[in-house]
Amino acid sequence: MITRPENIAMRKIDILDLGVRSYKKVWDLQKELVKKRQNGQINDTLILAEHEPVYTLGKNADENHILQHTPRNVKTYQIERGGDVTFHGPGQLVGYPILDLHNYKKSISWYMRGLEQLIIYTLAEFMVTAERKEGLTGVWVGDEKIAALGVRVTRWITMHGFALNVTPDLTYYSGIIPCGIFEYGVTSMARILTDEVTVDSVKQVLIEKFMNQFRTAESMIG
């Protein structure tokens, strides 16, 4: 279901909230929407979803970072994003922005830092202090990663995106070396917070922060 925030006419970004949906179906949908965005058939779109447990490997990933004791019932996908291996599963809020960076700034690093910042702002609303870590991608709480990022940009149209750990089963990470980083761990909002947190409550805040971070061409250019 596509919903439009109150000020969507100004921002020209659609929100496509899929709920729980298989990784493969959402991956295929992204590729379809990228083509439509390239042809000017749709607005910029933020896809939000949760997935069944899966591991994904970026185009430059080291397959040795999937360990021998990885659960056998978890599918693995080799995909076209940057980055190494990561996990997706229930309790993790995954965002796939389909944006035309011609309307913002033609810079992948600018885009990545923008994604990190909106997650930092989202977490702050829940009293979680997060930050970037120099030389590494993602969002961190201390020495533990709470959100992973990996994108693909084709003709300045983006796909793939970010994964924020809200209430996932973190034991799935024991089957991989997340993002190929040996020395740091992973965490989640549920692990940090004493109060209950849900994907739906985080989703509403994240949509607001996303809309504030990525504006229309008129408000971003210059």
Pairing label, strands 2-3, 44-50:
unpaired
Beta-sheet pairing, 144-154 with 139-141 = antiparallel
Handedness of CA 35, 209, 172, 179 (dihedral sign): positive
179, 197, 199, 202: which is the annotated catalytic residue?
179
Measure the CA dihedral 106/102/210/199, to 10°. Answer: -90
Overall residue count recorded for the chain in this entry: 222
Contact 140, 75 (CB under 8 A): no
The token pair that represents 171 in the structure block: 């034991």
Please indicate whether residue 206 is annotated as part of the active site: no
C-alpha closest to that of 85 among 105, 103, 70? 70
Rounded CA-CA distance 59/84 in Å is 8
Catalytic residue positions, numbered: 179
